[in-house]
A and B are shown apart, each in its own frame.
Chain A
């Protein structure tokens, strides 16, 4: 096994891990503040991804003219579509806007996801704070199914491509940076962008909680909700805002993930279970733990997918995350960075 192959899987693991970490971060934030186990979090990631698709479609709205010289599949004159943005801003600017539809979707995703987060929390989830975790899981899982079906009814069941801007298509030659032969250690530009973006979002969330008064109050509320409430602070309102922020983080993770995998309505469920494992392994309610566990499990999953490893232990690629979770929880029952007293009676 060559060093370059191992390095490649480390890069892959960091990339996968960044998606896991972003989703798990939101999950653990909700759990840490509101004490709710939110099974609809994967659906929020999926809705974020469909913000990309929506922006792409909005930018591609077109005027239709008939080209008599060409025919469509039924022999009728061909409909030629000219996007409005090209008519309004000129061809080059219009095409650039369509090309950059995924990054532009961030602008739509932030308000949409914050709003969805607020509505979800105020409209449904707050009624389940006093109910057992099993009730919370059932209602949020049900909500996830409803959200999926709404997206399926509107966008269909097939995957819809939402490519990265053309300047990010292709791969960066990492190998040459560290002295390998050219072409040995290539890594796609967009996946590097995704990793850097995830780092930025994670850093922003941590900075927000660490360095703002709002964040300090939230952290205090996470430690002792009752006392903070007695000080005359409306902690519920702040926690609602945190729910919105957690939804926005999941949404942003989804928006930027669309060029990596074309989204479909099942997009969120694919990540949900693994993200829960990440939260548990990281330690329920621990933000740092979620990020650390995201990267650890992402890298482990990548190594387990290597041909040499599968040949040695067949099927390991399908169970490695759960196996690692069992071992870590046996050694550290509260997870990697879990605190005492969380989810313990």
Chain B
């Protein structure tokens, strides 16, 4: 019987136990020794192209701003792939981009419609990540959308390069390790505006705030109040207005009798156009109060909205992230590329989106990978210049860019339909920099989606 050797009858020996253990160890550990290129990170590009996801409002109230963002992204893709005149790639201080795609792969893109609704924006971002294999999501024109999509990208393990979002929360209490913002924020608007307002209107002013009743409105009101109160202004009242409000007459009418001599409109988009129009109709621009000329302030300006408000913006102070009339080499190169392709100058939304696309591509080149953790590492603490706002730092602690902020004023005598704002002051980055911890929140750790 001893010759009848079936496997089950193999006598246990030290050698056979060692063999069996080695074999099972090999089976158990097999997935871990497959090269990381197969299971390294979410949507790792395999072929000769890489897909980026542009998530912008293509319908709804911000559709025109979204269309301008998309134009900028298309221009960026063109430049990254080596077509066109190269735009700001020629002036960018980092020379990692060579017009040969990203890491040698041709850049392709898919688009989604945020509808300026957080739920719709998350759904379109998810679809681009899961169905189209987008390795990075970028764009948007609202802080509510930015915070929602940033959260989704963190969970999905892709990088989010925010578009136009101005709330402190995006890189404050809601910051995420996978999310990065180039655009400035409410705090910076307040810090840049206050000294100019003090100089223009004096230190003894009484302000009345009308504030859009949502996240961005609150942080903007708080920023402007804090910085103006610090220089001696008094806040007479702050009234929240519904986001859906269209006729602001009931909110504007009592302002003049309130004892205030400044009206601050913490409104954006249609809210800003309508409240400013009401304020001008009620004669606030020509009114006198407390021995001063009555003044109106719009903390966040956009050229597209200035166009909607028409004549009413003349002489009104505000802040903006970037303006096409800037004369640095980067801005000039971008305005030239964009203007020649589309026939009109780019908006600040277009600028920030173009820059974000370039910054992402550059970070991938420098990191040598699309792995979100590698990209985040390359962006954190990255100092650059030549992209239109002077020397800029992507701060590691909160993934917020620190750069010069523009204080602008509605132009009295525009020479064209685009010439609506004039730059009053370029506030240096050092004047608008704050401690990363003041808005709370935790970055957490980067998620590569592996």
Q: How far is the CA of A58 from the CA of B64 in the complex (A)?
A: 23
Residues of A within 8 A of B186 (CB): none
A276-302 CB mask vs B (1 if < 8 Å, else 0) is 000000000000000000000000011
Among the listed stretches A3-11, A116-124, A243-251, which one makes contact with chain B, having 4 or more residues with CB under 8 Å of it?
A3-11
B63 A307 Cβ-Cβ under 8 A: no
Give the nearest-CB partner of A171 in chain B: B283
Which residues of A sit under 8 angstroms from B288, Cβ to Cβ?
183
Set of chain B residues within 8 Å of A261, measured between Cβ atoms: 246-247, 274, 277
B247 to chain A, nearest CB (A): 6
Q: How far is the CB of A40 from chain B (nearest CB, A)?
A: 19
How distant is the Cα of A305 from the Cα of B249 in the complex, in angstroms?
A: 9
Contact segment of B34-42, B304-312, B421-429: B304-312
A263 to chain B, nearest CB (A): 10
In whole angstroms, what is the CA distance A169 to B242 when docked? 27
- The distance in angstroms between the C-alpha atoms of A9 and B246, with both chains bound, is 16
Nearest to B270 among chain A residues (CB) is A159
Q: Are A70 and B254 in contact (CB under 8 A)?
A: no
| Contact residue among B240, B250, B287, B418 (Cβ-Cβ distance under 8 Å from A301) | B250
Contacts of A184 in B (CB 8 A): 257
* Given A163-B311, A266-B61, A310-B239, A260:B287 Cβ within 8 A: no
Beta-carbon contact of B309 and A161 below 8 Å: yes
In the complex, chain B residues 220-242 whose Cβ is within 8 Å of any chain A Cβ: 237, 239-240, 242
* Distance in angstroms between the alpha carbons of A73 and B62 in the assembled complex: 24
Closest chain B residue to A170, Cβ basis:
B283
Q: Which residues of B contact A188 (CB under 8 A)?
A: 281-283
User: Given the interface contacts A73-B324, A78-B415, A152-B63, does A262 sit within 8 Å of B309 by beta carbon?
Assistant: yes
**CB within 8 A of A73: which of B242, B304, B312, B416?**
B416
Q: How far is the CA of A8 from the CA of B278 in the complex (A)?
A: 14
- Is residue B345 within 8 Å, beta carbon to beta carbon, of the partner chain? yes
Query: What's the minimum C-beta distance from B413 to chain A, rounded to whole angstroms?
Result: 12
Check A135 for interface membership: any CB of B closer than 8 A: no
Partner of A158 from the list B59, B286, B308, B336 (CB cut-off 8 Å) is B308
Interface centre among B273, B281, B309 (most CB of A within 10 A): B281
Provide the bound-state CA to CA distance between A195 and B162, in Å. 45
Give bound CA distance, A172 to B64, whole Å: 36
* Per-position binary interface string of chain A over residues 143-171, scored 1 when its CB falls under 8 Å from any chain B CB and 0 otherwise: 00000000010001111110100000111
CB contact under 8 A between A74 and B242, given known A158-B308, A170-B286, A266-B61: no
A318 an interface residue at 8 Å Cβ cutoff? yes
A169 to B335 Cα, complex, angstroms: 36
Q: Cβ of A260 and Cβ of B283 under 8 Å apart?
A: no
Is B281's CB under 8 angstroms from A183's CB? no
CA distance A184 to B240 in the complex (A): 23
Q: Does A191 contact B (CB under 8 A)?
A: yes
Across the interface, do B281 and A171 meet the contact criterion of CB distance under 8 Å? yes
CB distance from A196 to the nearest CB of B (A): 16
- How distant is A43 from chain B, measured CB to nearest CB, in Å? 16
State the CA gap A73–B338 with chains docked (Å).
Answer: 11
Asked whether B48 is an interface residue with its Cβ less than 8 Å from the other chain, the reply is no
Q: Hey, what's the 0/1 contact readout for A66-84 against B, CB within 8 Å counting as 1?
A: 0000101110001000000
Instruction: Give the contacts of B252-292 with A (CB-CB under 8 A).
Output: 253-254, 256-258, 270, 273-274, 277-278, 281-283, 286-288
Q: What does the 1/0 interface line of A296-324 toward B look like (CB < 8 Å)? A: 00000110011100100000011000000
B251 in contact (CB, < 8 A): yes
In the complex, whether A12 has a CB less than 8 A from a CB of chain B is: yes
Beyond A186-B256, A186-B282, A190-B281, whether A160 also contacts B308 by CB under 8 A is yes
Q: How far is the CB of B255 from chain A (nearest CB, A)?
A: 10
A183 engages B253 (CB within 8 Å):
no
Q: Can you name the residue of chain B whose Cβ is closest to the Cβ of A267? A: B246
Residue B339 lies at the interface, judged by CB distance under 8 Å to chain A: yes
A171 to B247, CA, bound (A): 17
B439 to chain A, nearest CB (A): 25
Distance between Cα atoms of A306 and B415 in the complex (Å): 40
Give the docked Cα–Cα distance between A161 and B287 (Å).
23
Q: Give Cα A264 to B61, complex, Å.
A: 9
What is the 8 Å Cβ interface bit string for chain A, positions 237-273, against chain B (1 contact, 0 not)? 0000000000000000000000011101010001000
Min CB distance B141 to A, Å, is 11
Q: Do B310 and A262 touch (CB < 8 A)?
A: yes
A8 with B253: CB separation less than 8 A:
yes
Task: In the A-B complex, list the 8 residue pairs whose CB atoms are closest, starting with the nearest.
Answer: A161-B310, A305-B250, A157-B63, A159-B308, A171-B283, A188-B281, A158-B64, A302-B250
A-B contact pairs, 25 of them (CB 8 A): A2-B257, A12-B253, A73-B335, A73-B418, A74-B335, A156-B64, A157-B59, A157-B63, A157-B64, A158-B64, A159-B309, A161-B277, A161-B307, A161-B309, A163-B310, A163-B311, A171-B281, A188-B283, A191-B249, A260-B247, A264-B270, A270-B246, A305-B251, A306-B250, A307-B254
